[in-house]
Amino acid sequence: MNAPVKPDAFRVDTSPAPDPAAPIIRFAQIGKTYPSRDGQGAVAALSGIDLDVPKGAIVGVIGRSGAGKSTLIRLVNGLERATSGRLLIEGEDVTGLTEAGWRSRRRATGMIFQHFNLLSSRTVFDNVALPLEIAGTPKAEIEDKVARLLDLVGLADKRGRYPAELSGGQKQRVGIARALATDPKVLLCDEATSALDPETTRSILALLRQVNRDLGITILLITHEIPVIKEICDRVAVIEDGRIVEEGDVFTVLTRPQHPTTARFVEAVTGVELPAYLEGRIRKEARPGDQTVLRITFTGENATAPVISRLSSTIGVDVNILAGRIDAIAGKPFGSLLVSVPTREPELAAVLGALNGLELKAEVIGHVS
């Protein structure tokens, strides 16, 4: 005789399927406060943070010291707990996780530190192997995995060396290999290049981009250096006084900043400095016979097009180039020029009208004789 079928066998799972397009990390109205030093109140480190980190993307959070960026990233591995709001990782609300729950969650999250945090008494191989040993991974598997990771970060020949024998860039490569040991889905970078020289920084950023591209690992990084954002990030959030003041894709935010804090950050990588011989001569008010100094911003196809020569030939106005630069932001060309044109009308109006017709941003810097 057949056993009776339990009603549960007919029960259909009606819970929604995971959304493949959903962000891997979502901050929803996150707030974090600390008790004040005098014990009479609370200090807000984060207030109303809304931020999505798309799966497979490199997202940067930039801000000055004390802006709240370190607190933000520490929430993602449970080193800090939110006071309000919700934090979702892979669709799971982790806001109220116990410490035991966080231990399991951290295995899917790698962390790279500013000052490397390597154990001086362990070799390069043993530093990378440490998280695998803690997880109880078999020795043979550890040997194979660490060897592959050291090859990935370019340190296969340094496996027996100690941290004191390595350069800063090599130490950070060990840190990256160690962070990848547990096959994380998310890599957190806490000012990972701040202690490195510019050339080493570029090599570490190239390695992080390779890790993101080849392994499909999502990267969330915090930094106070706008060149880091420009070099490898897909999206950027600007944080000030514990709030996100601007957020979007890197090219749009860096070429069309909307918030004064963002504008100050990006000026170093998108602006063109006024030549020294003009700094003391430029003035706000125009005088008869003056030239008007314009900063023209080029984006997309216009960044490499001969716009100035076309401008001169089309409207018959002499345009004098004072300074300029062409660069790439998020893989797209971007250019900025300082030029001088006649202040008198109708020439100035013709220049500004032509630039507007070409969809180029023109900003009046001042006037010189």
Quote the tokens at residue 211.
Answer: 């890790």
Mean pLDDT of 66-95: 94
Q: Are residues 218 and 335 in the same domain?
A: no
Does 287 share its domain with 361?
Answer: yes
Look at residue 6 and tell me whether its pLDDT is greater than 50: no
- Residue 20 falls inside a structural domain: no
Residues 93 and 162 in one domain: yes
Identify whether 18 is part of a domain. no
Question: CA separation (Å) from 30 to 63, 82, 83, 84?
Answer: 17, 6, 8, 6
193: in domain: yes
d(Cα 195, Cα 105) in Å, to the nearest integer?
Answer: 29
Torsion on CA atoms 31, 37, 39, 41, rounded to nearest 10: -40
Beta bridge partner(s), residue 326: 335
Range name among 110-124, 126-140, 180-194, 342-356 with the lowest pLDDT average? 342-356
Same-domain status, 92 and 200: yes
* Res 10: pLDDT: 32
The residue among 229 and 2 whose pLDDT is bigger is 229
Residue of higher predicted confidence among 56 and 327: 56
How many structural domains are present in the chain? 2
Q: What is the pTM of this model?
A: 0.82
- The residue type found at 139 is K
pLDDT at site 363 = 84
- The angle that helices 139-152 and 124-134 make with each other, rounded to 10 degrees, is 130
Of 220 and 7, the structure prediction assigns the larger pLDDT to: 220
* CA dist., res. 310 & res. 78, Å (int): 57
Domain of 314 in residue numbering reads as 276-368
> Are 118 and 194 contacting, i.e. CB atoms less than 8 angstroms apart?
no
We report the CATH number of the domain holding residue 318 as: 3.30.70.260
Residue 12 has pLDDT above 60, yes or no: no
What is the pLDDT averaged over residues 157-164? 96
pLDDT of amino acid 300: 65
83 and 207 together in one domain: yes
CB 94 within 8 A of CB 82: no
In a domain, 118, yes or no: yes
67 close to 127: Cβ distance less than 8 angstroms: no
Which domain CATH number covers 193?
3.40.50.300
Residue 34 lies in a domain: yes
Name which of 261, 221, 270 is nearest 239 in CA terms: 261
On whether both 340 and 206 belong to a single domain, the answer is no
180 in the same domain as 82: yes
> Is the alpha carbon torsion for 239, 245, 248, 253 positive or negative?
negative
Question: In terms of domains, do 250 and 316 share one?
Answer: no
Distances (CA, A) of 216 to 58, 103, 132, 175, 180: 10, 23, 21, 18, 12
**Most confident segment among 34-43, 77-86, 344-353:** 77-86
DSSP letter assigned to residue 255: H
Same domain, 40 and 152: yes
Instruction: Look at 212 and 327; give whichever has higher pLDDT.
Output: 212
Has residue 357 got a pLDDT over 80?
no
pLDDT for 197-241, tens place per residue?
999 999 999 999 999 999 999 999 999 999 999 999 999 999 999
Show which of 268, 295, 320 is a domain's final residue: 268
d(CA 208, CA 193): 11
**Alpha-helix residue ranges (DSSP H) falling in the chain:** 69-76, 99-106, 124-134, 139-152, 168-180, 198-215, 226-232, 250-255, 260-270, 276-279, 307-315, 347-357
- Chosen domain end from 218, 247, 268: 268
pLDDT for residue 322 = 87
Within a domain: 235: yes
Residue 108 included in any domain: yes
- How many CA atoms, within 13 angstroms, populate the side-chain half-sphere of residue 108? 12
Question: Do 340 and 286 belong together in one domain?
Answer: yes
In this structure, the answer to whether residues 253 and 282 fall within a common structural domain is: no
Given pLDDT bands bounded at 50, 70 and 90, which one contains residue 192? very high
Residues 180 and 327 in one domain: no
What is the pLDDT averaged over residues 94-106? 88
pLDDT in tens, 264-321: 888 777 777 777 888 788 888 988 889 999 888 877 666 666 777 777 777 778 888 8
- d(CA 76, CA 295) in angstroms, rounded, equals 41
Asked if residue 4 belongs to a domain, the reply is no
Q: With beta carbons less than 8 A apart as the criterion, state whether 367 and 293 touch.
A: yes
Q: Which of 213, 238, 268 is the last residue of a domain?
A: 268
Amino acid at residue number 146: V
Distance separating the N- and C-terminal Cα atoms of the chain:
105
Higher pLDDT, 44 or 276: 44
